[in-house]
Amino acid sequence: MVMNRNYFRVLIVDLNREKSEVKRFEGRHEFVGGSGLCALLFERYGLKNEPWHNENQPLIFSIGPLTGLFPLMSKTICAFKSPYHDQYTESHAGGRSALSLFFANLDGLVIKGQARRPSLLVVGSRRVEIRDASYLWGLDVIKTGKIVRRLVGEASGHRSILRIGPSGENLCSFSCINCDTYRHFGRLGAGAVMGKKNLKAIAILGDERAFVSLGKNYKEIYGKIFKRIEDSGMMKKYHDLGTPANFKKLNELRSLPWRNLTSTWDKDVDRISGETFAERHLLRNLACSGCPIGCIHLGYIREKFMKDHRYYFEQVAYDYEPVFATGSMLGITDPVKVLKLILEIDEKGLDVISTGVALAWAAEAKEKGLISREETICDLKFGDAQGFLEAVGHLSNQETEFYRQLSRGTLAAARVYGGEDFACVLGQEMAGYATGELYFTAQALGFRHSHLDVGAYSYEQKHDERDVKRAVDFLIKDEPRRALLNSMVSCLFARGVYTNEYLAMCLESVGLKDIAINLDELSERIRFYRWKLRFDTGFSPEDIKIPRRFYKVESWKGKVNPKFLDELKISYGKRLKGLVSEGEKKWT
Amino acid sequence: MKFLRASNLKRCIGCNICSLTCAREVHGLISWQASGIRIKSSGGISTGFEATFCLVCKEPACLNACPTDALIPRKGGGVIFKRQSCIGCLECKEACPVDAVSVDDSGFPVICIHCGRCVSFCPHRCLELVEE
């Protein structure tokens, strides 16, 4: 039993039967782990032609061959059929889950079936329990976490607690799985998948040592990587302002979405910039297990609740994306109000990006008279945090038919109420980069509809020319290495540190030379496997529409060129189809 | 003699690099258990993290409890662990008032040796090796 085994050790939990099984899967040298392993496991357990809410659809978590063995190899991949688009997808999170799975001696965890009552799943190296958690149903994410920590007791500091809030229980299409309070399997509705399974929480106990045969030079390579991280400057970048450093830069570039993307610049950016948060609202930093960076920025809310100086105090994790979604996108420039909105969304277990962007659309729809106050219950106006705070609760509870529609996604609601033109949706609610045609194309057609699928926004900042072939070539070439890093599983912040050369060194030092010598091909293969599942479960590039609002955007480069955007979309769609058909010939 | 001290633990971000370093560098393992230092969140009304490791008692309770002389006094305080004399009774673990004795997967105690290898890997310089 060694951890750098050339197979995968996966725990399969069947909630229907309340039985579990440890299974061995071959294919380490083909699927590697993480993203690749998820594809292998979904191929085995996924019901491609059944809807996401079929109780037997699997919810999959996996880690990679370098997890726990090198710094920043600290992320977990979650894969499922998405409630948002009913196709295969992945969502990634940091926190303690990756090292907890590693020290529970598991490469993967597959949960299938539906518990007969709300349940808590506890998994450790010598423990699998499905416990009644009826009394947790309806509780928010923070309270649930506190109770589960007490219930589980063991492995403090070395365990991970995943849980959903009321929005997940209510099957909202963009509900998330909260991971260790401050991190999330955020996007595309993993929370609803847990909700459908009657699974309120999962505790993963990292309670075993790793059975690894370490190469003679392992310690030396670890030291080298550690030094490389220190020298790369990334410590400073993520220690310092963290991802919110983007605010001023993107605003200057006229690429920061404001008020439902009616503008890409605002004079008030300083009020919610990374500098302002760091100087006035940052309380402390936290790290994912096994990562020395500590990029998690915790802000604080100190609120007077009685006249005679009585206060309460809360801590809220903030990053660029949450502040964009609840700040600039909603026209809110008071950092404390932004933190309050993030906290409210967190507690309900909603994805913060989708929620912010959905509410921004709702505010504009209200302004244009497409929806009434009867439908929204509260006031939804740009800049008015109170209304949005109330709306988060209504959305989570699906209080009215309007909120029920909105909980299926912004475009779903727009199809009913009108306003599709100004729904800021690129496959899912947009991330905070209005850099232009290439980014819009990349998110709209991206594998996870994520700003991290490919580095389009960064390419766009370096290339002003409108060359369709060159730009699409870049998207196609940039993706496989990210698929590979997602299979190790590295935090993408470390993509500059872990070049293929360094990945190979790491793999060799833990006895995985066969993988190390074949990284280029493996990257392509894993990318293919993921896309194949996406296409097999219904993805069609032609069906993705880019709403008119994106065609009106003006960035530092000037106005979006509609022809260029359309050509990029058509070309990238064709290339994605092409790589799947080529892959089928080569690898199936 | 030099001793490990968590002089700046208020700066801790909970990355656990110290534990992993001890297991890797001192014990040649990848493990939470085979580490002389463990980190967990303070919880309750306080925030931040606690580090659990040997505090170098002048009269170590673990040493007094050991029936086989597997623990011998370290000059200046604390103990030196002699694995060949240990029978794995774990009386030392029971006796330690601050729970600083961890147990590895073979059932033997793991106690900080104050070598300071974790110090150089701590990203926020929470730990230091001090002369006392």
Q: Where are the domains of chain A?
A: 7-205, 242-419, 435-495+518-587
Residue B88 confidence (pLDDT)? 95
Question: Which chain B residues have a beta carbon less than 8 Å from that of A226?
Answer: 121
Q: Kindly identify which residue of chain B lies nearest to residue A296, measuring between CA atoms.
A: B13
Q: How confident is the model at residue A1 (pLDDT cuts 50, 70, 90)?
A: very low
Domains B1-53+112-127 and B55-99 fall in the same CATH topology: yes
Q: Kindly identify which residue of chain A lies nearest to residue B122, measuring between CA atoms.
A: A292
Question: For residue A575, is pLDDT > 50?
Answer: yes
Query: Is A235 part of the contact surface with chain B (CB cutoff 8 Å)?
Result: yes
Across the interface, whether the CB atoms of B41 and A156 are under 8 A apart is answered: yes
Mean pLDDT for A227-249 is: 87
Q: Where are the domains of chain B?
A: 1-53+112-127, 55-99
Nearest CB among A103, A214, A226 relative to B32 is that of A103
Q: Kindly identify which residue of chain A lies nearest to residue B106, measuring between CA atoms.
A: A209
CATH class in words for B55-99: alpha beta
Q: How confident is the model at residue A2 (pLDDT cuts 50, 70, 90)?
A: very low
Query: Measuring CA to CA, which residue among A542, A567, A579, A320 is closest to residue A445?
Result: A542
CB-CB neighbours of A266 under 10 Å: 17
The matching CATH number, chosen from 3.40.50.720, 3.30.70.20, 3.40.309.10, 3.90.1300.10, for B1-53+112-127 is 3.30.70.20
The Cα A569–Cα A437 span in angstroms is 9
Angle between helices A519-536 and A468-488 (to 10 degrees): 100
Query: Is A226 part of the contact surface with chain B (CB cutoff 8 Å)?
Result: yes
To the nearest whole angstrom, how far is the Cα of B109 from the nearest Cα of chain A? 14
Q: How confident is the model at residue A53 (pLDDT cuts 50, 70, 90)?
A: very high
Across the interface, whether the CB atoms of B15 and A292 are under 8 A apart is answered: yes
Nearest CB among B13, B34, B104 relative to A294 is that of B13
Residue A213 confidence (pLDDT)? 80
Across the interface, whether the CB atoms of B32 and A158 are under 8 A apart is answered: yes
Nearest CB among A156, A212, A296 relative to B30 is that of A212
A interface test, pick of B15, B27, B126 with most A CB neighbours within 10 Å: B15
Please give the backbone phi and psi of residue A428, each rounded to the nearest 5 degrees, phi first: -145, 180
Mean pLDDT for A553-582 is: 97
Nearest CB among A3, A157, A209 relative to B33 is that of A209
Residue A4 confidence (pLDDT)? 65
Residue A236 confidence (pLDDT)? 75
Nearest CB among B16, B38, B105 relative to A289 is that of B16
Question: Tokens at residue A101, please?
Answer: 């799975």
Query: Measuring CA to CA, which residue among B101, B78, B70 is closest to residue B5?
Result: B78
Nearest CB among A68, A214, A290 relative to B15 is that of A290
Residue A16 confidence (pLDDT)? 98
CA dihedral (A291, A6, A103, B5) positive or negative: negative
* Burial of residue B107 (number of CB atoms within 10 Å: 0-12, 13-18, 19+): exposed
The matching CATH number, chosen from 1.10.599.10, 3.40.50.2020, 3.30.70.1230, 3.30.565.10, for A435-495+518-587 is 1.10.599.10
Across the interface, whether the CB atoms of B105 and A157 are under 8 A apart is answered: no
Residue A231 confidence (pLDDT)? 84
The Cα A22–Cα A34 span in angstroms is 18
Question: For residue A3, is pLDDT > 60?
Answer: no
This model of the complex carries an ipTM of 0.88
Across the interface, whether the CB atoms of A286 and B13 are under 8 A apart is answered: yes
**A101-115, A367-381, B46-60: the lowest-pLDDT one:** B46-60
Strand locations in A355-467, DSSP E? 425-426, 428-429
Query: Measuring CA to CA, which residue among B99, B104, B74, B98 is closest to residue B86?
Result: B104
CB-CB neighbours of A469 under 10 Å: 10
Query: Is A315 part of the contact surface with chain B (CB cutoff 8 Å)?
Result: yes
Please write the tens of the pLDDT for every residue from A316-332: 999 999 999 999 999 99
CATH number of A7-205: 3.60.9.10
A interface test, pick of B11, B25, B30 with most A CB neighbours within 10 Å: B30
Percent of chain A with pLDDT over 70: 99
Q: Kindly identify which residue of chain A lies nearest to residue B42, measuring between CA atoms.
A: A157
Question: For residue A559, is pLDDT > 60?
Answer: yes
Question: Which chain B residues have a beta carbon less than 8 Å from that of A288?
Answer: 15
Please write the tens of the pLDDT for every residue from A375-423: 999 999 999 999 999 999 999 999 999 999 999 999 999 999 999 999 9
B interface test, pick of A156, A181, A209, A313 with most B CB neighbours within 10 Å: A209
Across the interface, whether the CB atoms of A222 and B31 are under 8 A apart is answered: no
Nearest CB among B17, B105, B123 relative to A209 is that of B105
Write out residues in chain B with pLDDT < 70, as ranges. 43-46
Question: For residue A234, is pLDDT > 80?
Answer: no
- Residue scoring higher pLDDT (A448 or A237): A448
Measured between its terminal Cα atoms, the distance across chain A in Å is 30
Across the interface, whether the CB atoms of A294 and B123 are under 8 A apart is answered: yes
Distances (CA, A) of B70 to A163, B2, B66: 45, 22, 7
The Cα A440–Cα B129 span in angstroms is 52
Report CA Rg, chain A: 23
Residues linked to residue B39 through DSSP beta bridges, in sequence order: B51
Nearest CB among B14, B30, B43 relative to A209 is that of B30
Question: What mean pLDDT is reported for chain A?
Answer: 96
Residue A49 confidence (pLDDT)? 97
Question: Which chain B residues have a beta carbon less than 8 Å from that of A69?
Answer: 30
Mean pLDDT for A103-118 is: 97
List, as ranges, residues 196-215 from A with C-beta within 8 Å of B: 206-210, 212, 214
Domains A7-205 and A435-495+518-587 fall in the same CATH topology: no
Question: Which chain A residues have a beta carbon less than 8 Å from that of B104?
Answer: 209
* Burial of residue A501 (number of CB atoms within 10 Å: 0-12, 13-18, 19+): exposed
Residue B46 confidence (pLDDT)? 65
The CATH architecture annotation of domain A242-419 reads Orthogonal Bundle (1.10)
Query: Is A85 part of the contact surface with chain B (CB cutoff 8 Å)?
Result: no
List, as ranges, residues 237-296 from A with C-beta within 8 Å of B: 284-294, 296
pTM summary value: 0.96
Q: Kindly identify which residue of chain B lies nearest to residue A2, measuring between CA atoms.
A: B30
Nearest CB among A156, A287, A315 relative to B40 is that of A156
Mean pLDDT for A482-509 is: 96
Q: How confident is the model at residue A239 (pLDDT cuts 50, 70, 90)?
A: confident
Q: Kindly identify which residue of chain A lies nearest to residue B39, measuring between CA atoms.
A: A157
Count Cβ–Cβ pairs < 8 Å, chain A vs chain B: 76
Mean pLDDT for A8-34 is: 97
Dihedral class, residue B65 (left if φ above 0, else alpha if ψ from -120 to 50, else beta): alpha
Nearest CB among B13, B30, B121 relative to A68 is that of B30
Question: Which chain B residues have a beta carbon less than 8 Å from that of A103?
Answer: 31-32
Please write the tens of the pLDDT for every residue from A71-91: 999 999 999 999 999 999 999
SS3 category, A448: coil
